[in-house]
Amino acid sequence: MIHFADLHLHPFKEHSHNVGGKVNSRLEWGIKTLEWVSTLAYHDDAILTFSGDLIHDPESMRNSLFVNLLQAYDRYIERRGIDFYAISGNHDMSGYNGIEDRSSSYLQGLSIFRTFKLIDYRGVGLRNRANRIWGVPYLNNPKDTIKLIKDFNKSSDAGDILLIHSDLPGATTPMGIQTGDVDEYIDLAYWKKLTKKYQFVFAGHIHKHQRICENTYMIGAPIQKDSGEINTTPGVIESGSGSKIKFIPLPDTFPRFIRGERQNDSLNWYVPHPPKLTSEVTLENSGGYVINRKKLIKQYAKDTKLSSTKTKFLKTLLTKI
């Protein structure tokens, strides 16, 4: 099985440059990434799973993107007969999503294909396999996530696979920050207990490949989405028999974000070095006032009753700017 997530297809204008007469469209590279992933599955006669965020913009999809996606899916997946099991991420849905108040999803449109199976809120059997695969789409309330997994646990068997699109306890972003979005409801010990019967849990949402615990993996993005992912290695996960797991990095023939001035390079996406800031910033024309960022964060946390975890996250984020 080949597992991937967070493709974020979109006709991004930024960095879709033209160097030496060669157009480097980020949408084009996104489609090529889908081709690369499907080719891995095709050569191994493997199943594809996707853990959310196929599309980037949750509000609208351009006609060109819609046509490119349908053509690519038909050419690289449907005609090859590759079974594709997917769940919806937050970018695939236009509104609030809960168990009782469900948002529509772009992925519902791919149900016209015979090979495509959207498994939001359900479990299905796998071709020529004894185990099943279960799907937890992005849910705005972590309590809904817990409830859905508990419902699955009533019917799932040991050795089944769980797909989920969510932050997870202990996961860090590409910038090395632990967001703590679910920590109020789920700590690592509870997560292990909640998902212990599944052979594997493959998660999307955070674009950095990492192992959360014995059976749980944050897959990471298959191709870099923005410059915040410069220090990540994009790729996919291959699972084999037993508990064998292998991370397959994106080939070097695909572009990546690079910090610095553009070279004679028509492949990669270059971003300038950020300006160096001190902990104190003087505002021009401010009458001499000086803003201390640490004090500002402390006062903001006090005024908004921000949790200690989110306050720590904000401090870490601003010190990296």
Q: Other CB atoms closer than 10 Å to residue 58's CB: what's the count?
A: 17
pLDDT tens for the chain, 321 residues long, are: 999 999 999 998 887 765 555 556 899 999 999 999 999 999 999 999 999 999 999 999 989 899 999 999 999 999 999 999 999 999 999 999 999 999 999 999 999 999 999 999 999 999 878 789 999 999 999 999 999 999 999 999 999 999 999 999 999 999 888 877 787 889 999 999 999 999 999 999 999 999 999 999 999 999 999 999 999 999 999 998 777 899 999 999 999 999 998 878 888 999 888 766 555 544 444 444 445 666 667 777 776 666 676 777 777 766 655
CATH code for the structural domain at 2-257: 3.60.21.10
Question: In the chain, what are the domain boundaries?
Answer: 2-257, 276-319
Opening angle at CA 10, ends 6 and 13, nearest 5: 130
Q: What's the pLDDT score for residue 286?
A: 44
Residues 6 or more apart in contact with residue 309 via CB below 8 angstroms = 180, 183, 184
Within 13 Å of residue 170, how many CA atoms lie on the same side as its CB?
14
d(CA 4, CA 77): 14
76: its two tokens: 């690289």
156: its two tokens: 């799932």
d(CA 285, CA 204): 45
Q: What's the pLDDT score for residue 305?
A: 67
Query: Looking up tokens 């469209």, which residue turns up?
Result: 25
